[in-house]
Structure 1
Amino acid sequence: MWSLRWKTPLSQYLGRGLAALALTLLPGCTSMPVTSMVKLMRTDFTHIDPSVLRVAVKLPQTVKPRRGGVKLKLTLATDGAKQEREFVLDDLNDPAELLSLRAEVSRGTAIHAFRLEPADVARVIAMRDDMLAAKQRGSKGSIIIGVSADGCRAGPLPDKVPLTTYLRTEADGEFFALARDIDLRAAVSAEQLATKLPPC
């Protein structure tokens, strides 16, 4: 399983926007391009339409996300109370939406992209409304936005197993990298990697 998280104080989340205070991809392994940090700092999540939110991952062709295994998790903590919701992301099958990632595809790799199910968009908006209401009441807290995926191997793994993740927050915007070329072999032991990536 690979995962990424952003954790933002509620006051900042509702003010300047979504700040990249923490990004995690497998234990002990972090990497985010500076340009992406700036992009996230300037992103006001309260104005993002959840229906246009997109997540993508580049992996070797022999590593594939499991169907139904890619999830978005939202955790809202206010005044000691915690609200968590997890949403299974749907495959994004429209090639036109991936045009900005054409230059990212390299030999032996494939890009997989995902979106919220239409029925879940309203649920995400409801959570966002809860956050706004909490801010108006003067509550303090934080928001964690996470994406995780269960993967499997469809063949022998290469000497390096690079992982790159992307986010798109605007319908007419481009994907930008959240973490680039993280070698999963270097991040975990061979035994752990075999467990995290069982045969498909």
Structure 2
Amino acid sequence: MSLQPHSRRPLFAIALTALASLPACSSMPVSSMVKLARTDFAAADPAALRIAVRLPQGLRPRPRGVSLKIAVAVDETKQEQTLVLTELDDPAELLSLSGELTRNTAIYAFRIDPVDLPQIAALREQMAAHKARGKRGSLSLGVGAEACRIGPLPASPLLTTYLKTERGGDFYPLVRDVDLRKELPGAVTPERIPPCP
């Protein structure tokens, strides 16, 4: 589901348990830093987790090109799973982002596919079992996406990403107005981003 005013290449990546994996950490609003620091992803309902991205209208995420990487680390052992996210099909979920829409941009939002929720529950149960035995561990989430072209690219393609962690909550920005051509030099050109199928 998108909110609009009218060669596979990674385009952006964000780390939800850090400020951002893009170099432009300073693009994260202070209020978002506080919200992120207060979020316990090991306890949050994964079915409520939502990711959204605002892109120039010349770009869109590739079909099945947005993924969630879950990493569980206990002592020296690390286990990772990558899940393909599903695009939202409920316009009501995007209402809190309507004020974020700017000229010549579109917003796309994603959720974890319900069939993948048991995998996340199993990982969290493992974490809880390790914690009960006195072992230390961590759970981290990362989002990656591949983009394709649906039109001409602007001179400064700006990316903003958003996160929602609770049912009934609002999206809040993780990184705002990151210039992809500055952060990913050479990667964001018409020749490097394939047309959408």
Q: Give the TM-score range, shorter chain.
A: 0.7 to 0.9
Kindly indicate whether the alpha-carbon contact (under 8 Å) linking 1:55 and 1:167 is maintained by their aligned counterparts in 2: yes
Say yes or no: does 1:3 pair with 2:13. Answer: yes
- Superposition deviation, residue 197 in structure 1: 2.4
Q: For residues 1-200 of structure 1, what are the structure 2 equivalents within 5 Å? A: 1=10, 2-6=12-16, 20-25=17-22, 28-30=23-25, 31-189=27-185, 191-194=186-189, 197-200=193-196
Kindly indicate whether the alpha-carbon contact (under 8 Å) linking 1:72 and 1:89 is maintained by their aligned counterparts in 2: yes
- Name the aligned partner's letter for residue 18 of structure 2: L
Which is further off, 132-141 or 142-151? 132-141
Kindly indicate whether the alpha-carbon contact (under 8 Å) linking 1:60 and 1:110 is maintained by their aligned counterparts in 2: yes
Distance in structure 2 (CA, Å) of the matches to 1:136 and 1:197: 47
Using a 3 Å threshold, how does the CA distance of structure 1 residues 185 and 65 change in structure 2: closer, same or farther? same
- Name the aligned partner's letter for residue 109 of structure 1: T
Distance in structure 2 (CA, Å) of the matches to 1:113 and 1:78: 31
Q: Which has the higher helix share?
A: 1
> What is the TM-score of this pair, normalised by structure 1?
0.87
What root-mean-square deviation, in Å, do the aligned CA atoms of Structure 1 and Structure 2 show?
1.5
Task: Indicate the structure whose relative CO is greater, using CA pairs within 8 Å and at least 6 residues apart.
Answer: 2
Distance in structure 1 (CA, Å) of the matches to 2:89 and 2:125: 30
**How many residues of Structure 1 are paired with residues of Structure 2 in the alignment?**
184
Which is further off, 85-94 or 45-54? 45-54
Distance in structure 1 (CA, Å) of the matches to 2:121 and 2:109: 21
Distance in structure 1 (CA, Å) of the matches to 2:28 and 2:117: 27
What is the identity percentage for the equivalent residue pairs of Structure 1 and Structure 2? 49
Distance in structure 2 (CA, Å) of the matches to 1:83 and 1:47: 18
Kindly indicate whether the alpha-carbon contact (under 8 Å) linking 2:19 and 2:28 is maintained by their aligned counterparts in 1: no
5+ unaligned residues in a row in structure 2: which ranges?
1-9
Kindly indicate whether the alpha-carbon contact (under 8 Å) linking 1:151 and 1:196 is maintained by their aligned counterparts in 2: no
- Superposition deviation, residue 171 in structure 1: 0.8
5+ unaligned residues in a row in structure 1: which ranges?
7-19
Distance in structure 2 (CA, Å) of the matches to 1:72 and 1:46: 15
